[in-house]
Amino acid sequence: MSTGKELLQEAIERLGSVKRLEAEMLLASVLGYDRAHLLAHDREELTNEQSGLFHQLLQRRVDDEPLQYILGETNFMGMTFLVNPHVLIPRFDTEILVEQSLQLLQHMPLPKRIADICTGSGAIAISLAKYGEALEVWASDLSFQALAVAQENNKRMETAVRFRQGNLFEPFAAEGLTRYFSLITSNPPYVTSQEMATLAPEVLKEPKMALWGGDDGLFFYRQLIPQAKQFLQTGGALAVEIGYQQGEAVKELFLREMYQQVTIVKDWQGCDRVVFGYWNE
Protein backbone atom coordinates (compact mmCIF):
# COMPACT_ATOMS: atom_id res chain seq x y z
CA MET A 1 0.00 0.00 0.00
CA SER A 2 1.08 3.58 -0.69
CA THR A 3 0.91 6.69 1.45
CA GLY A 4 -0.65 9.91 0.29
CA LYS A 5 2.78 11.49 0.11
CA GLU A 6 4.05 8.74 -2.20
CA LEU A 7 1.03 9.02 -4.48
CA LEU A 8 1.40 12.79 -4.66
CA GLN A 9 5.04 12.45 -5.61
CA GLU A 10 4.13 10.00 -8.37
CA ALA A 11 1.46 12.40 -9.66
CA ILE A 12 3.87 15.34 -9.68
CA GLU A 13 6.39 13.31 -11.65
CA ARG A 14 3.74 12.50 -14.26
CA LEU A 15 1.98 15.87 -14.40
CA GLY A 16 4.91 18.19 -13.69
CA SER A 17 5.62 20.27 -10.60
CA VAL A 18 3.45 23.18 -11.83
CA LYS A 19 0.40 20.94 -11.38
CA ARG A 20 1.12 19.97 -7.78
CA LEU A 21 -2.09 21.68 -6.66
CA GLU A 22 -4.09 19.64 -9.16
CA ALA A 23 -2.52 16.43 -7.86
CA GLU A 24 -3.48 17.40 -4.32
CA MET A 25 -7.04 18.18 -5.38
CA LEU A 26 -7.38 14.81 -7.10
CA LEU A 27 -6.14 12.92 -4.06
CA ALA A 28 -8.30 14.98 -1.72
CA SER A 29 -11.35 14.13 -3.83
CA VAL A 30 -10.57 10.41 -3.58
CA LEU A 31 -10.19 10.57 0.19
CA GLY A 32 -13.06 12.97 0.82
CA TYR A 33 -10.76 15.37 2.65
CA ASP A 34 -9.98 19.03 2.14
CA ARG A 35 -6.41 19.82 1.07
CA ALA A 36 -5.35 21.01 4.53
CA HIS A 37 -6.36 17.69 6.11
CA LEU A 38 -4.72 15.78 3.27
CA LEU A 39 -1.37 17.52 3.68
CA ALA A 40 -1.47 17.14 7.45
CA HIS A 41 -2.02 13.37 7.14
CA ASP A 42 -0.03 12.57 4.00
CA ARG A 43 1.86 9.70 5.65
CA GLU A 44 -1.28 7.66 6.15
CA GLU A 45 -1.60 4.60 3.93
CA LEU A 46 -4.41 4.37 1.41
CA THR A 47 -6.39 1.24 0.69
CA ASN A 48 -5.82 -0.55 -2.59
CA GLU A 49 -9.23 0.67 -3.74
CA GLN A 50 -8.35 4.29 -2.98
CA SER A 51 -4.99 3.99 -4.71
CA GLY A 52 -6.62 2.42 -7.76
CA LEU A 53 -9.21 5.20 -8.01
CA PHE A 54 -6.51 7.85 -7.67
CA HIS A 55 -4.52 6.27 -10.49
CA GLN A 56 -7.62 6.29 -12.69
CA LEU A 57 -8.22 9.98 -12.06
CA LEU A 58 -4.54 10.76 -12.54
CA GLN A 59 -4.50 9.01 -15.91
CA ARG A 60 -7.50 11.06 -17.04
CA ARG A 61 -5.60 14.24 -16.18
CA VAL A 62 -2.46 12.95 -17.92
CA ASP A 63 -4.70 12.44 -20.97
CA ASP A 64 -5.60 16.17 -20.85
CA GLU A 65 -9.12 15.82 -19.48
CA PRO A 66 -9.88 19.10 -17.66
CA LEU A 67 -9.49 18.90 -13.91
CA GLN A 68 -12.98 20.36 -13.44
CA TYR A 69 -14.58 17.49 -15.38
CA ILE A 70 -12.66 14.94 -13.35
CA LEU A 71 -13.73 16.53 -10.07
CA GLY A 72 -17.22 17.16 -11.45
CA GLU A 73 -17.37 20.75 -10.24
CA THR A 74 -15.81 24.20 -10.40
CA ASN A 75 -16.01 27.49 -8.51
CA PHE A 76 -17.71 30.55 -9.98
CA MET A 77 -18.91 33.73 -8.25
CA GLY A 78 -18.29 32.16 -4.84
CA MET A 79 -20.42 29.11 -5.61
CA THR A 80 -19.61 25.53 -6.59
CA PHE A 81 -21.18 24.52 -9.91
CA LEU A 82 -21.52 21.01 -11.28
CA VAL A 83 -19.83 20.55 -14.67
CA ASN A 84 -19.34 17.70 -17.11
CA PRO A 85 -18.21 17.34 -20.76
CA HIS A 86 -21.62 18.57 -21.98
CA VAL A 87 -20.98 22.12 -20.74
CA LEU A 88 -18.29 24.76 -21.08
CA ILE A 89 -16.33 25.19 -17.86
CA PRO A 90 -17.20 28.62 -16.38
CA ARG A 91 -14.15 30.88 -16.39
CA PHE A 92 -13.03 33.57 -13.97
CA ASP A 93 -13.25 36.08 -16.86
CA THR A 94 -16.99 35.50 -17.14
CA GLU A 95 -17.44 36.93 -13.65
CA ILE A 96 -16.84 40.31 -15.34
CA LEU A 97 -20.08 39.80 -17.29
CA VAL A 98 -21.99 38.90 -14.14
CA GLU A 99 -20.64 41.85 -12.17
CA GLN A 100 -21.35 44.29 -15.00
CA SER A 101 -24.87 42.88 -15.34
CA LEU A 102 -25.51 43.34 -11.62
CA GLN A 103 -24.46 46.98 -11.95
CA LEU A 104 -26.80 47.48 -14.91
CA LEU A 105 -29.69 45.97 -12.96
CA GLN A 106 -29.25 48.41 -10.08
CA HIS A 107 -30.38 51.28 -12.28
CA MET A 108 -33.36 49.55 -13.88
CA PRO A 109 -36.97 49.97 -12.76
CA LEU A 110 -39.15 47.13 -11.56
CA PRO A 111 -40.07 44.57 -12.68
CA LYS A 112 -36.55 43.36 -13.44
CA ARG A 113 -36.50 40.37 -15.76
CA ILE A 114 -33.38 38.68 -17.15
CA ALA A 115 -32.77 36.27 -20.03
CA ASP A 116 -29.45 34.44 -20.41
CA ILE A 117 -28.73 33.00 -23.87
CA CYS A 118 -26.39 30.01 -24.47
CA THR A 119 -26.57 29.35 -20.74
CA GLY A 120 -24.56 26.09 -20.63
CA SER A 121 -24.10 25.12 -16.98
CA GLY A 122 -26.39 27.97 -15.98
CA ALA A 123 -23.58 29.78 -14.17
CA ILE A 124 -24.46 33.29 -15.38
CA ALA A 125 -28.23 32.96 -14.96
CA ILE A 126 -27.97 31.34 -11.54
CA SER A 127 -25.42 33.90 -10.32
CA LEU A 128 -27.71 36.74 -11.40
CA ALA A 129 -30.67 35.04 -9.70
CA LYS A 130 -28.61 34.59 -6.53
CA TYR A 131 -27.07 38.03 -6.29
CA GLY A 132 -29.42 40.24 -8.29
CA GLU A 133 -32.78 41.80 -7.59
CA ALA A 134 -34.53 40.36 -10.62
CA LEU A 135 -38.13 39.31 -10.43
CA GLU A 136 -37.57 36.57 -13.00
CA VAL A 137 -34.57 34.92 -14.61
CA TRP A 138 -34.94 32.84 -17.77
CA ALA A 139 -32.26 30.99 -19.70
CA SER A 140 -31.96 29.06 -22.95
CA ASP A 141 -29.58 26.60 -24.56
CA LEU A 142 -29.70 24.40 -27.64
CA SER A 143 -28.26 21.39 -25.79
CA PHE A 144 -30.57 19.13 -23.77
CA GLN A 145 -27.51 17.71 -22.01
CA ALA A 146 -26.28 21.15 -20.98
CA LEU A 147 -29.71 22.08 -19.64
CA ALA A 148 -29.75 18.93 -17.51
CA VAL A 149 -26.57 20.19 -15.82
CA ALA A 150 -28.04 23.68 -15.48
CA GLN A 151 -31.19 22.30 -13.85
CA GLU A 152 -29.11 20.40 -11.31
CA ASN A 153 -27.17 23.56 -10.51
CA ASN A 154 -30.45 25.44 -10.18
CA LYS A 155 -31.59 22.97 -7.51
CA ARG A 156 -28.19 23.00 -5.84
CA MET A 157 -28.14 26.81 -5.51
CA GLU A 158 -31.84 26.96 -4.56
CA THR A 159 -32.57 29.45 -7.32
CA ALA A 160 -35.63 29.55 -9.56
CA VAL A 161 -34.23 30.11 -13.05
CA ARG A 162 -36.64 29.06 -15.80
CA PHE A 163 -34.67 27.04 -18.33
CA ARG A 164 -35.86 26.46 -21.89
CA GLN A 165 -34.40 24.36 -24.71
CA GLY A 166 -33.91 25.89 -28.12
CA ASN A 167 -31.71 28.05 -30.33
CA LEU A 168 -31.05 31.56 -28.98
CA PHE A 169 -34.41 33.35 -28.56
CA GLU A 170 -36.67 30.70 -30.13
CA PRO A 171 -38.03 29.41 -26.78
CA PHE A 172 -38.90 32.94 -25.66
CA ALA A 173 -40.60 33.75 -28.95
CA ALA A 174 -42.71 30.60 -28.54
CA GLU A 175 -43.85 31.81 -25.11
CA GLY A 176 -44.67 35.31 -26.35
CA LEU A 177 -41.97 37.06 -24.32
CA THR A 178 -41.33 39.90 -26.75
CA ARG A 179 -40.49 43.27 -25.16
CA TYR A 180 -40.34 41.40 -21.86
CA PHE A 181 -36.79 41.55 -20.49
CA SER A 182 -34.92 44.32 -18.69
CA LEU A 183 -31.56 42.67 -19.33
CA ILE A 184 -30.31 40.02 -21.73
CA THR A 185 -26.94 38.40 -21.14
CA SER A 186 -24.91 35.92 -23.15
CA ASN A 187 -21.51 34.28 -23.28
CA PRO A 188 -21.87 32.83 -26.78
CA PRO A 189 -19.29 30.74 -28.63
CA TYR A 190 -16.69 33.20 -29.95
CA VAL A 191 -13.48 31.27 -30.71
CA THR A 192 -12.35 31.79 -34.31
CA SER A 193 -11.40 28.96 -36.66
CA GLN A 194 -7.77 30.04 -36.46
CA GLU A 195 -7.86 30.07 -32.65
CA MET A 196 -9.52 26.63 -32.55
CA ALA A 197 -6.39 25.22 -34.19
CA THR A 198 -4.19 26.58 -31.40
CA LEU A 199 -6.28 25.74 -28.31
CA ALA A 200 -4.70 23.67 -25.56
CA PRO A 201 -5.56 19.95 -25.70
CA GLU A 202 -7.63 20.16 -22.51
CA VAL A 203 -9.74 23.01 -23.87
CA LEU A 204 -10.51 20.90 -26.93
CA LYS A 205 -12.12 18.39 -24.55
CA GLU A 206 -14.89 20.94 -23.97
CA PRO A 207 -17.92 20.94 -26.30
CA LYS A 208 -17.06 22.48 -29.67
CA MET A 209 -20.56 23.92 -29.99
CA ALA A 210 -19.82 26.04 -26.88
CA LEU A 211 -16.49 27.27 -28.25
CA TRP A 212 -16.52 27.84 -32.00
CA GLY A 213 -18.05 31.07 -33.20
CA GLY A 214 -17.46 30.74 -36.93
CA ASP A 215 -14.43 31.73 -38.97
CA ASP A 216 -14.13 35.19 -37.41
CA GLY A 217 -15.77 34.33 -34.07
CA LEU A 218 -18.67 36.72 -34.66
CA PHE A 219 -21.29 34.30 -36.02
CA PHE A 220 -23.51 34.32 -32.94
CA TYR A 221 -23.19 38.05 -32.28
CA ARG A 222 -24.56 38.73 -35.77
CA GLN A 223 -27.72 36.83 -34.77
CA LEU A 224 -27.89 37.67 -31.09
CA ILE A 225 -27.56 41.46 -31.25
CA PRO A 226 -30.37 42.18 -33.76
CA GLN A 227 -32.69 39.50 -32.33
CA ALA A 228 -32.32 40.77 -28.75
CA LYS A 229 -34.09 44.02 -29.64
CA GLN A 230 -37.37 42.13 -30.04
CA PHE A 231 -37.20 40.87 -26.46
CA LEU A 232 -35.89 43.93 -24.60
CA GLN A 233 -38.11 46.45 -22.92
CA THR A 234 -37.49 50.06 -23.91
CA GLY A 235 -34.46 51.11 -21.90
CA GLY A 236 -33.34 47.50 -21.44
CA ALA A 237 -29.76 46.38 -21.97
CA LEU A 238 -27.90 43.61 -23.78
CA ALA A 239 -24.56 42.53 -22.28
CA VAL A 240 -22.28 39.93 -23.90
CA GLU A 241 -18.91 38.41 -23.19
CA ILE A 242 -16.38 38.68 -26.03
CA GLY A 243 -12.94 37.47 -27.01
CA TYR A 244 -10.11 39.83 -26.08
CA GLN A 245 -9.64 40.98 -29.69
CA GLN A 246 -13.31 41.41 -30.52
CA GLY A 247 -14.26 44.58 -28.64
CA GLU A 248 -14.42 47.04 -31.52
CA ALA A 249 -16.00 44.56 -33.95
CA VAL A 250 -18.80 43.65 -31.53
CA LYS A 251 -19.30 47.29 -30.54
CA GLU A 252 -19.80 48.10 -34.23
CA LEU A 253 -22.49 45.39 -34.46
CA PHE A 254 -24.29 47.04 -31.52
CA LEU A 255 -24.06 50.48 -33.13
CA ARG A 256 -25.27 49.16 -36.48
CA GLU A 257 -28.43 47.96 -34.73
CA MET A 258 -28.89 51.39 -33.11
CA TYR A 259 -28.12 50.43 -29.52
CA GLN A 260 -27.18 53.40 -27.34
CA GLN A 261 -24.43 54.06 -24.80
CA VAL A 262 -22.50 51.09 -26.19
CA THR A 263 -19.58 50.39 -23.88
CA ILE A 264 -16.60 48.02 -23.88
CA VAL A 265 -15.62 46.73 -20.42
CA LYS A 266 -12.11 45.41 -19.79
CA ASP A 267 -11.10 42.54 -17.54
CA TRP A 268 -8.51 42.56 -14.77
CA GLN A 269 -5.72 42.14 -17.30
CA GLY A 270 -6.84 45.15 -19.30
CA CYS A 271 -8.29 43.08 -22.16
CA ASP A 272 -11.68 43.71 -23.76
CA ARG A 273 -14.13 41.27 -22.14
CA VAL A 274 -17.73 42.58 -22.19
CA VAL A 275 -19.78 44.81 -24.49
CA PHE A 276 -23.14 46.22 -23.44
CA GLY A 277 -25.64 48.67 -24.85
CA TYR A 278 -29.15 49.96 -24.24
CA TRP A 279 -32.14 49.58 -26.54
CA ASN A 280 -34.61 52.45 -26.85
CA GLU A 281 -37.30 52.27 -29.49
Q: What are the tens digits of pLDDT across the range 33-84?
A: 777 777 777 788 888 999 999 999 999 999 999 999 999 999 999 999 999 9
Local confidence band at 249 (pLDDT 50, 70, 90 cut-offs)? very high
User: Which residue ranges does the chain devote to CATH 1.10.8.10?
Assistant: 4-63
At residue 206 the predicted structure's pLDDT band, cuts being 50, 70 and 90, is very high
What kind of fold does domain 73-279 have according to CATH?
Rossmann fold (3.40.50)
Residue predicted with more confidence, 45 or 166: 166
Residue 45 pLDDT: 83
The pairing of strands 79-82 and 73-76 is antiparallel
| Topology at the third CATH level for domain 4-63 | Helicase, Ruva Protein; domain 3 (1.10.8)
Average pLDDT of the segment spanning 275-281: 94
Q: How confident is the model at residue 109 (pLDDT cuts 50, 70, 90)?
A: confident
Mean pLDDT of the chain: 94
pLDDT of residue 155: 98
Please choose, from the candidates 237, 222, 239, 217, the residue with its C-alpha nearest in 3D space to the C-alpha of residue 97. Answer: 239
Residue range(s) occupied by CATH 3.40.50.150 in the chain: 73-279
CA angle 277, 278, 281 (to 5 degrees): 140
Q: Sheet with 136-141: list strands edge to edge.
A: 162-165, 136-141, 113-117, 181-186, 232-241, 272-279, 260-266
| pLDDT for the residue numbered 228 | 98
